[in-house]
Structures are given as structure tokens and as C-alpha cells.
A and B are shown apart, each in its own frame.
Chain A
Amino acid sequence: MVAEAAPRRAERRGFDVGPIFFIGAVAVLAILVIVPLGWLLLISVQRADAGGLTLGNYVTAFTTSIYLRPIFNSFVLAACVASIAALIGTPLAWLIARTDMPGRKGFRALITAAFVTPSFIGAEAWILLAAPNSGWINRAIASFTHADHGPLNIFSLGGAIFVMALYNVPYTFTFVAGGLELLAVELEDASSTLGASAWRTMRSITLPLVMPAIVAGFIMSFLEALAEFGTPAFLLIPARTQVVTTQLYLFFQFPVRTELAAAYAMPLIAVTLGLLLLQRRILGRRKFTTVGGKGGRRRLIALGAWRWPLLGIALIVPLCSVFLPYLALLATSLSRIWSTGPVPGNLTLYWYHWALFENGETRLAIVHSLSYGAAAATIATIIAFLIAYTANRRLFPGASALGIVCMAPFVVPGIVLAIGIYAAYSHPPLILYGTAAILIIAFTTRFLPIAYSNLNTMIGAVNVDLENAARTLGATRLRALRTITAPLLRRGLLASWLLVFIPAIRELSSAIFLFTPRTATMTTQIFDFTDAGNYEGVSTLAIIILAITLVIVSVAYRFLGRDFMEKTSS
């Protein structure tokens, strides 16, 4: 067969372009993460009147009483949201993971729908439902009781807590349901055979075993609530109640006080970092508590006569987070004038025609959202892939530190990240403010950690021999990466792309600081329409965002499996 070791293989010892790619990836990473975060830190200790370092910004931010109140409000909001979400999410998870309640599969789909619904869109919907005078529920109650207005006021701290808790239920739910599914049935059986009642078993065995999952869900919700901008902006600014994120927004109203905003944002980063480290420790220990899971077919707890009543009670959650809001948004988007309600004569497709064709602003916003999202998803996936590869294969000493850089934006709330990006790129040498690039950078940076953590695990699982085999056959590192590693990870790459694209098209908190009328997105349009009281426009855009999201998520579920979305929360 093979005659001899013939000198057929040409020695293409030319210039190897490989290193340029990896160095390029590191450079992009610097633009995305290091420069903005560095600037954030720098301006927080800079004098407003240009020149000199000072701690004065911190002093002003944390000794002035009108700035302290929002901090207090934020913690009240976050603690209430996280507690309520955990109290609702835990029993729901138990019902769906361990009992024979009917419709469990459909229920999971509803939880997913709530999970992919941005809470600021939920807030918009609840304004339609429960605004003091015009909200439909209020009007229904008022007409029933003959009062002049209904009892509900969504423009309040209570209203914000209610809406945000609804959309944070999926965190605790996902963590606890995952824990319960891995929990070995034998652990509970062991208790039952020792004579413990079902209630006692749950209290002394099941609950302690899933406690880490509950705490992890609580922390996740707490952090989400702390960092959330949209919902407080829509529900609390009208109530003149400020939280940290809305106060940060106010710092950017005239006169702009970037230095103060940067100093004011620092505790948010510190708290986030601390709680995430805590959550990681707790989840790390969870592995130990669920040893021996996955054994055999699960035996479900029979609810007996309670099956249907419990389903009814459980359905209150998706009723409030999915059915009513979606219905309100859909009805409003189909009504000529929303206050008249979806009655014959008022029903129309006008607003969709308006949003998609008539109004240049919204049409452009849709194009912007999709194209910025796609650009961010593409850049984040490529950078995450190259950096994860560099770190995993230790291409140079200290390469694993790059992984930490990739994950750093995870502890920075979107609104704070936007401050850093604004500070870094609104002056020479790189003026990007007002361009699409600054929004793409913001979205890429913000969701880079999702792509990175996803791809890092996957590259770690690829046997290095598969690449090395290509190398010995004459392929350069880059070619091996392109023809072997990337195709092997194509599902992972697609998943990463979607996991960045989905949140990017509904991202509001970082966009709000960085957009200009020429670079408005769907979310900033929703923000502007809310200001202007155009709820039909808000609803139409919200429905378009939700429709795009739901289509992508359901297609991704089909091709990538159920656990693909759960990576966002880990």
C-alpha cells in the first residue's frame, strides 16, 4: 500500500496566522470588559471638574440622605421579591417534580414562558391591568362595587414587589425542581420505613436536602431584583419611590453626574459578587446532598382528592405571570384605543401595521434589536469560544485568568455596566457614543459570561486527542479548531448564540443609557412610549418581542433539549 515515507507532504512552513486570532480575541476582550470596568473604577474616584483623584464621590453618594433612601428601598424590594418568589417557587417545584398533579408538563412550559418574559414587560401589562383608575381589573371591581375607582395601585412598592416576584418564581422553581429530581427516593423511603409520617419525612428529610437549592434560588432572585431597572422605572418612578437603579438613571438626567453614579454603583457590584460567591459555595455542597440520584423510575406522591384543587391553586401563578399579562398586552395591541377595551368596533390590526410598516421609528427599532442582538450573539460566541479554548488548552502561561475576565460582567448589573461603557467610549481616543457599536459592545459584554460558561464546560469535555490527531496530520491549531473542535461543538455554539441573542433583544437596562434616537431598540422604544402614554405601541412591541422569544425558545427546545435554557441561571 504505502510505498515509503515519501516527501509528498509539502512543508508549508509559512506564516502561521493562528496566534493573531488568539491575540485578537484577547484584545476584543479588553475592549469589552477590562476598559469599561477600569473606567468605571477610575471615574468613581475622579473629581467631577476634571482632574485629580478624590474619594469625595463616595462621601457624597453615601452620606446624602436622599441618596441613602433608594439603597434602603432596593434592599427592601430585593428581600421581599426573593422571599415571595422562593415561598411560591418551592411548593410549585414540589408539586411538579414529586406529585401526580395533573398537567405537570404543560405547567413546566408555563414556567418557561414566565422565565423568558422580561419582568419590565410584565410590569407594562400590569399597568394595563391594575393602574389606579384605568386598569381593567380596577375598573371591573369598581363597576361591581360602584366605587369611583378600584382598590389596586400597581404604581407602588407593593406593586413592584408583586410583579418582580412573579417573574422570579422560575429561579427557585428551576433550582428546587432540579434538586428534587436528583434526590434519591430511597432517602425518603428510609424515613418512611422508620415510621415517619409523610409530613415529618418532608420536614426532616426532603426540605433540608433541597434547602441549598432554595437558598440558591433566593440569592438569584435577590440579585435580579437588586439589578432590575425596567420594572422600578415603570412602576416606582411614577410613585416617586427611588431604588438604586432608578437613582442611577436620575444621575444621568441633566446635569449628568457620571462620577457620582460610578461611586454609587460600587456597592451593587460588591453585594452581587459576595452573594454569587456564597451561592456558588451553597450549590457546590448540593452535589453532596444529592449523591445517588437518578436511580430508577420515580415514584410520584399521590395527591388523591387534592389533585385538581391543588392544580387550581397552582395555576394562580401562571395566571398572573403569563395568562393575564399576555392577554392584556394582546388585547391592547389589538385595540384602537386601549381604554375602550377589546370590544367590537375597537378591534384592529392597526397598531401592528403601524409598528411594522407605517412608523419608521418602530420599524427601525425592530431591525436594530434583531441586528444588534445577532451581532452581540455572534461576537460573544466567537470570543467566548476562543477564550475558553485558550484557557482550557493553556496556550500561554496565565491563560486561565482570561476566563475570570470573561465571567467578570456577571457580577455587574446591566445599568452599572452601561455607566462603565459610557465612561470609556464617550471621549477620545474611541468615541462610540451614539453609534450602534456601543450598544453591541454593551450587549456582548453583558451576556458574554453566559456564552463563556456554556462553552467552557463543553470545550473541557472535548478530548484533546481529537485535536492533536489533526495536528499530527498537518493541520495548524487554527485549522484543527475550525475543522474538528468547532464542528464537534456545533450544538454548544448554537446554544451559546441563542443564549446571548434571546436576552439581548429584550435588554433594557444597559441600552437605556447608551441609545440615541438613531440607535433606538424595541426596548428603548417601549420605554419612550411608556413615558408618552402610548400603551398600544408598548403592547404591540412587547407582543413582537415575546413572539420572537417564544418562537426561538421553542425551536431551541426541540433541537437542543430541555436543559438548554437552564444554563442561563447557572
Chain B
Amino acid sequence: MARIDIAGLSKSYAGKQGARAVDAIDLAIADGEVMALVGPSGCGKTTTLQLLAGFLKPDAGTIAVGDRVVSSPRHVVPPEHRRMSLIFQSYAVWPHKTVFENVAYGLRVMKLSRSEIEDRTREVLRSVRMTDLAARYPSELSGGQQQRVALARAVVVKPETLLLDEPLSNLDANLREEMRFEIRRIHDATGITMVYVTHDQTEAMVTADRIALMRGGKIAQVGTAHEIYEQPATAFVATFVGGTNTLPATLIEPHVVECCGARLRVRDDFDAAQRGPVTLCIRPHSMGFAAAGDDAVGYQENGHNRLAGVVLRQTYLGDARDYLIDLGTTQVRVSTPPSEDRSVGSTVHLDLPVEACRVVPGD
């Protein structure tokens, strides 16, 4: 019912000639799915959400909810007729209305009977544990409580879709964790379709069924958290989700790259036409130090790759040690157990498991 189809959607701000904030994106969101739009600031995720909510008119492309086209360059169904609720980064809880009045607003717009407004408002306030604070004004609430009011206000009208714009970014770490589960719980109780914008990949992983990673107005990759983490489509995806080292490499034969003067075996392969410059991605904690005295480099028969480097910097982090290693042509970060103590300036050999070596196209 609330399946959302985005097709060829584009929007630029400074006239149609300006740089595109959203650049011909396609995205299908299933009914009842939680889709996270993730990316660095300026990637177009908030613009996409504003387009979804109907506050902006697209320059090209369409947004359809079910079988109904709600946005196109010719016509935009105004926000009030889209049956989408939006949760704002700023909460946007009205300071001149009490908690109860805030939550009841949407029901009053629907012209429901007084008793029904009362019942539904009380019910939703109970579900977000705000019953005792119903008569308070927002200025008397904490940030977390205001966020719960915003949540209650958005869901009490039973929208088809709930849009969330960085809903937790103004909360402190503890509350954020609590609210992540709160949002997920509301989803599981209602089966409502959600589109969740965040720059925080952990938040996306906890709350979303699938993640659409955006960059420069385009969608870099769509998939489950597991897919995006394990099979990043580009170096950007790998770097943004979980963090990774990117090493320039050349794919020379199936599953073999040349990198930092050594031949390494990697997990991925491309067809012959795409061979050439690629990027080798390996996460800091996937590497380790080889035993002392073993100074061969390149692919080893035991299923591991070896590279030699010099320790530039090490930082003790309690549960881990963070190293910066100079490989000659480039530098990598390595995360090891705290017991691995190598002094700055010493030569080390890095162990790169084949399974952890991913290559993505391009350099």
C-alpha cells in the first residue's frame, strides 16, 4: 500500500543549471520497510527527504506511492495530502502548545470527534511514556522528551509513511541508543513504511532494513547493512561504512593485484575488460602483524598476503592499539589487540587475509 518508487528523481537549487543536489536517483522502498538514507553532509539525503515529503518540486523524475504519482515536475501533491509524517532534526515541537495539544493537532485537522481525539492522544502518549507530562509546555521538557512528543505527534495520525530527518542527532549518546530502539519498536508495532535520513552509519544499521548510501546527489549503493559492509560497491562505500584503508592497485590477472610492489591475492575479480587500475580495500582490524623474522612479501601459500612497512605512529586505546604504517608509496591504519606493542620506527610485516581484501573499480 505504501510502496514508494522513486524514478530518475533530480533536483538542483540554484535554478535548473545549478549543481544537482539530487541527481537522477532511482530507489524502490517496499511497503513496511525501513530504508535509511545515509551519507556525508551535502550528499542530497535531506533534499531527497524534502522531495518525498512534498516540500520541494523535482526538476525531473517522479515519486510514486503505491500506484499514485505524488511528485513530478508538473505536479506535486502538497504535504498535507501525502499521508506522510515527518520527524524533524529540530523536533519542531510547537512551543506555544502543550504536549497534549501538539500531539492532538493532526487529529484536530482531521476533524475527529472530541472523544476520539482525547482517546487516541492519550493512547499514543502512553506508548511513548509521556502521559504524566501531557500538560507541560515544550520548554519544560528535555531534548529526549521533546523527541518523543515529535514521534507521538507524527504517528498518532496513522500515516502511511514516516519520514525521519536526522531525528537523533541532537540527543546525547545514551538517549540516542534508547530512541533508536524506540523507533524500531514503533515500526514493528505498526508496520509503517519509514525513510530514515542519517549521517550516522551505526544508527542506520540498528534501525533500517536496508541502507541507501548517497554521495554527490547519487545513490552509491543500496543493500542490507551486511551487504554494504561486506560487499562495498565503491571505495567511498567501504570508507564511509566501517572505515577502510584504500590502496591503489592494478588488477593483473584473476584475483591477483599488484600493490605496493607486491603481488597480492584478493577476494574479488572483474571481467577482463575492467582489468587495470583498481582500489584495494582492507579494514584496519582485518590486518595483523606477522610473526617476527618472517619477512617475505606478497602472496603466501598459507592464504595470506604480506606487506612490509614502518611504524609511523601508535596510539593505545585501551581495548585496541591503533597503528599508522608507512608502506612506502602509501600509508595504512591497522588496529591490533592491545598486546601487540611495536615501537615507532620499527619495521613490521602486515598480514592481509585474502578474504578481507576487496577490490573496487577505479583508482
Query: B-contacting residues of A (Cβ < 8 Å)?
Result: 1-6, 8-13, 16, 463, 465-466, 468-477, 479, 483-484, 487-488
Contacts and interface: CB of A to CB of B under 8 A. Distances in A.
19 contacts: A1-B126, A2-B189, A5-B1, A5-B160, A8-B110, A8-B158, A465-B92, A468-B86, A469-B94, A469-B153, A471-B55, A472-B86, A473-B80, A473-B106, A473-B157, A474-B80, A475-B80, A475-B109, A488-B96
Nearest to A476: B80
A485 to B, nearest CB: 10
A17 to B, nearest CB: 13
Contacts of A472: 53, 79-80, 82, 84-86, 154, 159, 163
A465 B92 CA distance: 6
Contacts of A10: 110
Given A1-B127, A474-B106, A9 B94 contact: no
Contacts of B126: 1
Contacts of A16: 78
Nearest to A467: B92
Interface in B199-215: none
B86 A469 contact: yes
B55 A468 contact: yes
B41 interface: no
Nearest to A1: B127
Contacts, number: 108
B90 interface: yes
Interface in B87-116: 88-90, 92, 94-96, 105-106, 109-110
Contact of A465 (B88, B161, B189): B88
A39 to B, nearest CB: 36
B2 A5 contact: yes
Contact of B83 (A4, A5, A487): A5
Q: 3 closest Cβ contacts across the A-B interface?
A: A473-B106, A465-B92, A471-B79
A4 B188 CA distance: 11
Given A4-B191, A468-B53, A488-B95, A476 B78 contact: yes
B90 A1 contact: no
A468 B105 CA distance: 13
A171 B90 CA distance: 40
B157 A474 contact: yes
A470 B96 CA distance: 13
Nearest to A490: B96
Interface string B141-159: 0000000001001111111
Contacts of B106: 473-474
Contacts of A487: 96
A400 to B, nearest CB: 15
B86 A4 contact: no
B191 A11 contact: no
Contacts of B127: 1
A191 to B, nearest CB: 43
B123 interface: yes
Given A2-B124, A473-B105, 4 more contacts: A2-B158, A473-B85, A474-B80, A474-B81
Contacts of A11: 81
A494 to B, nearest CB: 14
B110 A479 contact: no
B2 to A, nearest CB: 6
Q: From A4, A484, A487, name the one whose CB has the most chain B CB atoms within 10 angstroms.
A: A4
Contact of B190 (A5, A12, A473): A5
Contacts of A6: 158
Contacts of A479: 109
Nearest to A18: B78
B94 A488 contact: yes
B352 interface: no
Contact of B79 (A2, A466, A468, A488): A468
